[in-house]
Amino acid sequence: MGNQLYGYARVSSKEQNEVRQVLALAAFSVPESNIFVDKQSGKDFHRPEYDKLVKKLKAGDVLAVQSIDRLGRDYDEIIEQWRIITKEKGADIVILDMPLLDTRQKERDLTGIFISDLVLQILSYVAQTERENIRKRQAEGIAAAKANGVRFGRTGNPLPPNFEETIQRWRRKEIKEKEALQILGVGRSYFYKYSKTIDKIRV
C-alpha cells in the first residue's frame, strides 16, 4: 500500500505557464519532487510525465490536480483516466477547484466514492452537451448568414467546425494566437477576418 501524495500539471502549449497550477499543488502540500508537469504544442497530446506518474501510483496514494480538464483532452478521456486511477490503481483523486471531486474517504466509504463518480459523470455530460450546442448554434448561424448572402472562406466554404469554439478560447487567453492558427489550419489574416464575422452571425 502506498501513502504518497502526487500532483500533476499540464499546459496546452510551450508558451503557456504552469506556475499557477504548480503553486496550487504546493499549497496542497504536494512535495516538489512528486509534481509532474507536461507541456504540449498544437495538436500533440503525448504526455510522458503523466505516463510516468500513473506507473508510480499505488493503492492508497493520492493524486491532486488543479482542474478536472488536466486529466485529459476531452471528457471521455477524463472519465477513462479517472477509472484507471481509482479502480485499476486503487489511488485517490483530489480536484482542487472542485471539492466534490475528492475520492478520499475514511475506510474507503463506498457512498463517498459513488458520489464523486456521479458528480464526474454529470460534469462530463454537461460539458459534452455544451460543446454540441456550440457546434449547433454555429451551424445555424452560418446557415442563416448564407441565406442572407454572406460567403465564408477563400472559396465560399464553411468555416472550420471548431472555429467559434477556438476563437472563444483565444479571446479568454486559454490559447495563444499561434496555437489557434494550428488548431484551425488557417492563416492569420483569415483568422482575424472571420473572428469578427462570427460575432455578426451568432444567433
> Partners of 63 in the beta sheet?
6, 93
- Tens of pLDDT, residue by residue over 137-181, are 777 777 776 776 665 555 445 667 777 788 888 888 888 888 888
Q: How many C-beta neighbours within 10 Å does residue 170 have?
A: 19
Which member of 12, 33, 116, 189 is catalytic?
12
Domains (range + CATH), the chain:
5-104 (3.40.50.1390), 132-201 (no CATH)
- Tens of pLDDT, residue by residue over 4-33, are 999 999 987 665 778 999 999 999 999 999
Query: How many angstroms separate the CA atoms of 40 and 46, rounded?
Result: 7
**pTM for this one?**
0.57
**The pLDDT value given to residue 57:** 96
Place of cell 477556438: 166
Residue 96 near residue 68, CB atoms below 8 Å = no
Place of cell 475520492: 103
Residue 61 near residue 3, CB atoms below 8 Å = yes
Query: How many angstroms separate the CA atoms of 79 and 94, rounded?
Result: 14
Residue 1 near residue 24, CB atoms below 8 Å = no
- Tens of pLDDT, residue by residue over 38-72, are 987 545 567 899 999 999 999 999 999 998 888 88
29 has catalytic annotation? no
Residue 94 near residue 64, CB atoms below 8 Å = yes
> Partners of 7 in the beta sheet?
35, 64
